[in-house]
Chain A
């Protein structure tokens, strides 16, 4: 028998006064999945996450988490969630170890159990040697790992991560991804928001692309690339600027001129390059690459800068 999805949203809406942050979205997340909300700033990702975290009541629509109502059963639901917020809110008055034990107590764990969990989790996020130290001197990546450890302290069924790697350097990101992958392998359901395409491709089984409070696309990273892009993309640079774009009409499936380069979406990148040369064009650089979620994302949400 199919289990009810852990998270079900139907026509979910969040308004702040006149402003509609989330404008009627339908989402369902199954147990064990890694599910992503992808979108530019202001797309409504964080508002959605806060509603799922049961710290923000939906304005309209239906939301069920672990089969319960987040407004009525908030206490019970939050007891089974782990939340890693966008901005670290670790307790700077407490040591690294105490941050975990204190948090465990909020979930009703005994002191002994809290200490045991804290020790295990610091090992897991590779911070055991910092246990007695303060939080303040930790690097950004360490703080984020500690926040993830804190989110795991109650052995949650769902872990919610709001932009888990924003602001981290590449090494820190990769370490974090690897730890999150380990969590997923243990059967923990991950729900994350990100605006990094590579992160979504690395971590998510399934994702939705949000823009302006609505869902504009849904699927696995591979499906989305297949549906909204071409298998390959050719990046062309021209010494004389992008004027050459007009002469590229009809090359590949679609041509996207940018200020500094021209993107040609094609089923076969090499064939497209051959066609470019056949037309007598001489780009100063040519790069044929696989299509990524970034191409999908930019295609769906446009190139206007959102702040």
Chain B
């Protein structure tokens, strides 16, 4: 516990030392301003919401009618109830990722937006925090709408939705931060194919459509090391149950992702642009 607190202090001082909320807000405000630039961004925003929803309807509800019940924590639930929290976690992941990969990469490498920003008092970590906050806004916009759909379809209770909502924020922060770190390593648009493939693999095999216990043991172990698994388990545990101490492990995994991602992204932005 002491080491965790010491690490926390080190992170605050090392990574967030001297961070100005006003400057982070200014980076965020730039994105709010860009929203007004035209309908293009809104279109991207909307399409991002529908993707997990369509999966929920086609596979969760459609295929679910063929599958029947699935055990969650020893209790049989409808297949759609099993899949819905996973799609909620996926929408949190992809909402945040889309922002910190495509958009950040474009601003970083092509629009040279950050070169201009770094000529002001704004620091790399403040850019990273501002962009991550914006990714969080997009993520929560998706997950809020998704939770409404889940409650309306009877796939979770209102209490479950309230419990899962903050967890989706953590999922967004974790994937948003790691995505931003990854964007600083991408060489060009061709690397996005790799990223998309990786993202899709996680989407299919993270206990999203079938319980990981059904996989061969080797695959089960591999899956339990990957990030979306922890996101799905955390969100499912809160939305459907059962709540147990393992949820802390899942949350801890995501916190580490968020902090490490932010740290790497800040370092890389500084290293590549302040030369």
Contacts and interface: CB of A to CB of B under 8 A. Distances in A.
Contact of A106 (B26, B34, B36): B26
Given A105-B26, A108-B23, A89 B121 contact: no
Interface in A75-98: 75-76, 78-79, 81, 83, 85, 87, 89-95, 98
A78 B119 contact: yes
Contact of B122 (A90, A95, A98, A106): A106
Interface in A13-29: 16
B26 A55 contact: no
A83 B116 CA distance: 9
B113 A91 contact: yes
B151 to A, nearest CB: 35
Contacts of B113: 89, 91
B275 interface: yes
Chain A's interface size range is: 20 to 34
A87 B121 contact: no
22 contacts: A55-B118, A56-B274, A76-B121, A78-B119, A79-B120, A79-B121, A81-B119, A89-B112, A89-B116, A91-B34, A93-B34, A93-B37, A94-B33, A94-B34, A95-B37, A98-B33, A102-B26, A105-B22, A106-B23, A106-B122, A107-B121, A108-B121
A78 B126 CA distance: 15
A87 B113 CA distance: 12
Nearest to A87: B112
Interface in B216-275: 273-275
Interface string B12-44: 000000101011011101100110110000000
Interface of A: 16, 53, 55-57, 75-76, 78-79, 81, 83, 85, 87, 89-95, 98, 101-103, 105-108, 134, 150, 154
A75 B121 contact: yes
Nearest to B115: A89
B138 interface: no
Question: Which of A79, A87, A89, A93 has the most chain B CB atoms inside 10 A of its CB?
Answer: A93
B111 A92 contact: yes
Closest 4 CB pairs of A and B: A93-B34, A105-B26, A106-B120, A89-B112
Contacts of A53: 119
B117 A106 contact: yes
A102 B34 CA distance: 10
Contacts of A91: 30, 34, 111, 113, 116
A103 B120 CA distance: 8
Contacts of A75: 18, 121, 123
B245 to A, nearest CB: 43
B30 A94 contact: yes
Contact of A57 (B25, B30, B123, B274): B274
Given A55-B273, A75-B121, A102 B111 contact: no
